[in-house]
Amino acid sequence: MEDTSMSPTMSLSKTTLLMMLIHIASTSTSGNILGGKPSTDSSGNDEDAGTCMFTDAQPTPYWQVDLQGSYDVHNITLETCWGSWGWKTRSVQIWAYFSNPDQCPDAVGFLYGTTPANTAESQTHAFHATPTYPVRYIRLVATTQPELGLKEALAMGTPTAGVQVPVCSDSRFSATPGKKLQTALASRTASSATECAVKCHVMHTCLAFSFSPSLTEDNCFLAHCPSTSDQTGWTSWILHRL
């Protein structure tokens, strides 16, 4: 098994396919939160060839699973197909999102990791997230081939009590450089603007946040009021409800 341990690499930018995915895995695996959950691929299909799953050939194919609730996903394991089909799991990105990216083009998500470019048949790749964040959707995206193939996907996680999964209208932010929130609900420390966005998402009353990459602590301000003032080195993101 290849163990690819890493902290989630996050991105606020739009992805070509904004959603999350994962192949429906066996419900017999104890603790697997993907088992029995609804899944779709980029064609709206769920094709089964033996025990391997394949998407139709198309640009940037993906699989997605709706966890139907908020979960802290600790690790995700992918098993590739056998024989010549193993290449179909090469350079596959594993994304997690709070809200459905197909419905919310600016959904905030983070990247667990990417399978190696030389992935071959009958291999297992494990990805671990530290820290974890409450998410609802998991999505696998093929980045270098026209088809996505996978034998099995497993995810281990725990339900996130008391966290409301954001709806689409809670997923759109616009950035304004040189601005800082005047009144903050809370001050946090974040490693990136996206981590600051995550902290805003999990706080139900948060409607805006400011982040300064030059500070090492207290560099993430969360607020329910979008009023800002000029401040060099800060950028503010204001939520736009639809």
What is the reported pLDDT for 233? 95
Task: Report which residue type is found at 51.
Answer: T
Q: What percent of the chain has pLDDT over 90?
A: 31
Per-residue pLDDT reduced to its tens digit, 116-169: 999 999 999 999 877 677 788 999 999 998 889 889 899 999 888 766 555 554
What does the DSSP assignment read for 82-138? SGGGGGGGTTEEEEEESS-TTT-TT--EEEEEE--TT--TT-EEEEE-SS--EEEEE
- Please tell me the predicted confidence (pLDDT) of residue 196: 87
pTM of the predicted model over 0.95: no
> Of 39, 81, 45, 42, nearest to 58 (Cα)?
42
Q: Which domains does the chain have, with CATH numbers?
A: 2-159 (2.60.120.260), 172-239 (3.50.4.10)
Give the pLDDT score at 169: 44
Q: Per-residue pLDDT averaged across 66-85, rounded?
A: 88
The residue that leads in pLDDT, 69 or 106, is 69
Q: How much is the pLDDT for 199? A: 83
Q: What residues contact 49, with CB distance under 8 A and at least 6 apart?
A: none
What pLDDT is recorded for position 22?
30
- The residue that leads in pLDDT, 227 or 1, is 227
What's the mean pLDDT in 80-95? 89
- Give the distance between the most distant pair of CA atoms in the chain: 60
Percent of the chain with pLDDT over 70: 74
Please give the pLDDT value at position 106. 62
pLDDT in tens, 160-209: 876 655 555 444 567 889 999 988 889 999 988 878 887 887 776 788 89
Q: pLDDT by residue (tens digit) across 28-50?
A: 334 789 888 888 887 665 444 44
d(CA 39, CA 177): 38
**Which residues partner with 96 through β-bridges?**
110, 138
